[in-house]
Amino acid sequence: MGCSEAVALRPHHGLCAQFFEGKGYSEGFVKNMTAVLQDLGGDPSRPVRLWCEADVICAHCPHNCKGTCESGQKVRAYDTAVLRLCALREGDLLSWGEYCIRVTERIILPGRLRQVCGGCEWLAICEGKAVNR
């Protein structure tokens, strides 16, 4: 990824990124997620484009079947909820730092994680970390 190139990002991955701790679906997924988060975290001004399809994080997910998520409806619901609660739309372009602030202020701090991520297997980890913010 080039430094000024916008990163396509599923809206709900803005939440996943806040709580990721090196656990995941597979070793390849964890390695990729770590690299993507290091890249984004190294430059809060890096532009992200909100995209409700497979993104850079999905690239190594075992649920990614040729660019389509096998959990399609579930993750689409997560994305839709994040966009709605953050007053954003698919295709919006903003900096990684701005996006993290918006997700934190509108979902994490008001205690809306379960409202967005109710069916996620990683929810307990995220809720545990959210309490300590």
Q: Of 113, 92, 114, 125, which Cα lies nearest the Cα of 7?
A: 92
Predicted TM-score (pTM) of this structure? 0.88
Phi/psi region, residue 63 (left: phi>0; alpha: psi -120 to 50; beta: rest), is alpha
H-helix or E-strand containing 7? strand 7-9
Task: Give pLDDT tens digits along the chain (133 positions).
Answer: 445 689 999 999 999 998 988 877 788 889 998 999 999 988 999 999 999 988 888 887 777 777 777 776 888 999 999 999 999 999 999 999 999 999 999 999 999 999 999 988 889 888 888 877 6
Domain boundaries, given as residue ranges, for the chain: 8-131
pLDDT of residue 1: 47
CA angle 14/120/105 to nearest 5° reads 35
